[in-house]
Chain A
Amino acid sequence: AQKITQTQPGMFVQEKEAVTLDCTYDTSDPSYGLFWYKQPSSGEMIFLIYQGSYDQQNATEGRYSLNFQKARKSANLVISASQLGDSAMYFCAMREGRSPGYALNFGKGTSLLVTP
């Protein structure tokens, strides 16, 4: 079964607007972490933000924030004030406390295009 689901294959947003990228997850492990990565066309995976399952507050990193709704098992990424350089693939990933080697489980990604 898919552990991470990203239902938006592609998204468009106008420059300076905010955008929300959806991510839902499935786990029975009480201890887990949720991560968002950005992959520009160059291919490198850039870590953006992390949310732990026991964290009480939503994580924020600059223009990135994570809307964590534990009961709904969702961890949506919000990018405020979009910039042209935000155009990229975005991946949601989860690491469970019992994952072998603590490997990350990735979703299929969302392609974001920021337009002028």
Chain B
Amino acid sequence: SQTIHQWPATLVQPVGSPLSLECTVEGTSNPNLYWYRQAAGRGLQLLFYSVGIGQISSEVPQNLSASRPQDRQFILSSKKLLLSDSGFYLCAWDRGRAMDEQFFGPGTRLTVL
């Protein structure tokens, strides 16, 4: 069966510090991968998606970046965090077929102080 991991689970970082969140998927190959952010009490906003190694598409301009160094690894990064980067970050995967459901990781709760 497939599983998706995210770490860390929670993170408190000062403004201006770097960020690296990691997501890995097990039990499948060549998945589509997604990073979403959820602000407190809000829906999910798509940040990045990837259809293959090294292929990253950005949906929202911001100071975040994403990379996919391996087929089942997706990393979200920032060189300098802003207060507005606080939120709940969710990684998701699917099989890349139009009408398949997405499966979500447990999420990372980021607080920028």
Q: Are A45 and B90 in contact (CB under 8 A)?
A: yes
Q: Are A102 and B43 in contact (CB under 8 A)?
A: no
Nearest CB in chain B: distance from A4 CB, A? 8
Q: Are B98 and A106 in contact (CB under 8 A)?
A: no
Query: Residue of A at shortest CB range from B34?
Result: A103
Judge if A12 is at the interface, Cβ distance under 8 Å: no
Q: Are B90 and A50 in contact (CB under 8 A)?
A: no
Q: Are B59 and A100 in contact (CB under 8 A)?
A: yes
Q: Are A47 and B102 in contact (CB under 8 A)?
A: yes
Interface string of A7-49 (1 = CB under 8 A from B): 0000000000000000000000001010101000011111100
Judge if B12 is at the interface, Cβ distance under 8 Å: no
Query: Residue of A at shortest CB range from B50?
Result: A101
Complex Cα distance, B86 from A25, in Å, reads 28
Main secondary structure of the interface of B (DSSP, over half): strand
Nearest CB in chain B: distance from A41 CB, A? 12
Given contacts A45-B104, A100-B59, contact A106 B43 (CB under 8 A): yes
Other-chain residue from B34, B42, B107 in contact with A101 (beta carbon distance below 8 A): B34
Given contacts A33-B98, A101-B34, contact A43 B44 (CB under 8 A): no
Other-chain residue from A44, A52, A101, A105 in contact with B99 (beta carbon distance below 8 A): A52
Other-chain residue from B42, B46, B97, B106 in contact with A104 (beta carbon distance below 8 A): B46
Q: Are A47 and B101 in contact (CB under 8 A)?
A: yes
Given contacts A43-B106, A43-B107, A43-B109, contact A103 B98 (CB under 8 A): no
Nearest CB in chain B: distance from A86 CB, A? 19
Query: Residue of B at shortest CB range from A46?
Result: B104
Query: Residue of B at shortest CB range from A105?
Result: B46
Q: Are B42 and A102 in contact (CB under 8 A)?
A: no
Nearest CB in chain A: distance from B4 CB, A? 10
Q: Are B46 and A95 in contact (CB under 8 A)?
A: no
Residues of B with C-beta under 8 A to A108: 42-43
Interface string of B38-63 (1 = CB under 8 A from A): 00001111100111000001010000
Given contacts A47-B101, A108-B42, contact A103 B96 (CB under 8 A): no
